[in-house]
């Protein structure tokens, strides 16, 4: 299985931030977690509110620990709200079921981490996460 390196995590972040600037998005925070849900790298743009780090982390943490994107978790939240409420409670509030948390998969489809972005509209956050992941040759799980 491929391991996510710090160099790759930083490139994911830089690409995501560059995409956010090209799209004229609000200031964002980008978090990259490894497969165990541990922080690999994080950057918060000037002007991004302090809580964005926690939101971005919760998007990525929920994705990597449940093995599905935070977009998929948002669908679960709509279809099975009692389950999602219990899941968020069991996870100590560490899950944010809205788009912007994207799985990182290697060429063999192994899960190797997740990216979470917060700061703008969730669909735009997700778009930047995908661009970052693909910039290092990995596959985005949305």
- Report the Cα 56 to chain-centroid distance in Å: 6
The answer to whether 53 and 44 have CB atoms below 8 angstroms apart is yes
Q: What is the pLDDT along the chain (142 residues), one digit of tens a residue?
A: 789 999 999 999 999 999 999 999 999 999 999 999 999 999 999 999 999 999 999 999 999 999 999 999 999 999 999 999 999 999 999 999 999 999 999 999 999 999 999 999 999 999 999 999 999 999 998 7
> What DSSP designation does 26 have?
P
What is the CATH topology of the domain spanning 6-141? Answer: Beta-Lactamase (3.30.450)
The two three-digit tokens of residue 53, written as one number: 């780090």
Distances (CA, A) of 102 to 38, 91, 97: 15, 18, 11
Stated pTM of the model: 0.95
Burial of 118 from C-beta contacts in 10 A (0-12 / 13-18 / 19+): buried
Locate tokens 């709509």: which residue? 78
- Report the Cα 32 to chain-centroid distance in Å: 7
Spatial distance between the Cα atoms of 82 and 79, rounded to a whole number of angstroms: 9
| Domain definitions of the chain by residue range | 6-141
């Amino acid at each position: 299985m491929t391991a996510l390196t710090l160099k790759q995590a930083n490139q994911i972040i830089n690409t995501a931030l560059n995409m956010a600037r090209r799209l004229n998005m609000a200031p964002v925070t980008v978090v990259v977690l490894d497969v165990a849900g541990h922080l690999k790298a994080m950057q918060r743009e000037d002007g991004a509110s302090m809580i964005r780090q926690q939101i971005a982390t919760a998007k990525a943490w929920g994705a990597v620990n449940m093995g599905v994107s935070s977009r998929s978790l948002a669908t679960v939240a709509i279809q099975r709200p009692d389950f999602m409420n219990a899941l968020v409670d069991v996870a100590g509030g560490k899950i944010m079921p809205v788009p912007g948390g994207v799985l990182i998969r290697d060429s063999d489809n192994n899960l190797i981490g997740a990216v979470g972005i917060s700061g703008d509209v969730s669909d735009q956050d997700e778009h930047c996460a995908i661009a970052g992941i693909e910039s290092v040759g990995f596959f985005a799980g949305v």
